[in-house]
Amino acid sequence: MKQIILKLNELRKGKNTFHVSSTAGELDLEDIDYPIVGNIDTHIEIYRNRNNYEIKLRTRFVFRLTCSRCLTEFEKQFEDLGAFYLKKGEVPDIPEGMIKDEYIETLYVSGDEYDLAPIIREQVLLSIPMKPLCSDSCTVPEYDSGIDEVDSRWADLIKLKEKLM
């Protein structure tokens, strides 16, 4: 997997913005449930305050999905917003139970470099829909299941099925 390295020392005070484009292959995302069409584009915003960094990632990409109802293939754009704090230094030794419920996660980094690639990969993985639908109104093509009109050749099978149920 390629690395998307943040060089923490080179970031200026205040706001820094970057744009990074990755392929599915570069982020090791070729063998997931649905193929990715085109590139994975990430807009990165970093606010630096001394050795604290607030990082915001907006990752956009297109999945080629298969509708779970009608099996039509369709493409859909996804956008995932992620944010976390990065601090230089060791993870503080906070006794269990003392950790505050922060709405934003804090990660710790010991060196001057931080690789964003695993985080962007995770953004894509977490966006994989469980039951994609080609449209909100998609319905399974209707077929007549009226049991009265069933071909008599199926009758025995249907009786058997009813027994089993």
What residues make contact with Zn ion under the rule CB under 5 A?
67, 69-70, 72, 134, 138
Instruction: Please state the closest distance from residue 69 (CB atom) to Zn ion, in A.
Output: 5
Instruction: Please state the closest distance from residue 73 (CB atom) to Zn ion, in A.
Output: 10
Instruction: Please state the closest distance from residue 137 (CB atom) to Zn ion, in A.
Output: 9
Q: Cα–Cα distance between 56 and 60 in angstroms, integer?
A: 13
- Residue 62 or 134 having the CB closest to Zn ion: 134
Half-sphere exposure of residue 39: CA atoms within 13 angstroms, side-chain side = 7
Non-local CB neighbours of 120 within 8 Å, separated by 6+ positions: 4, 20, 22, 27, 40, 42, 57, 59
- Residue 8 or 134 having the CB closest to Zn ion: 134
Instruction: Please state the closest distance from residue 55 (CB atom) to Zn ion, in A.
Output: 37
- Residue 49 or 137 having the CB closest to Zn ion: 137
Non-local CB neighbours of 32 within 8 Å, separated by 6+ positions: 124, 125, 128
Instruction: Please state the closest distance from residue 5 (CB atom) to Zn ion, in A.
Output: 41
- Residue 34 or 47 having the CB closest to Zn ion: 34
- Residue 20 or 134 having the CB closest to Zn ion: 134
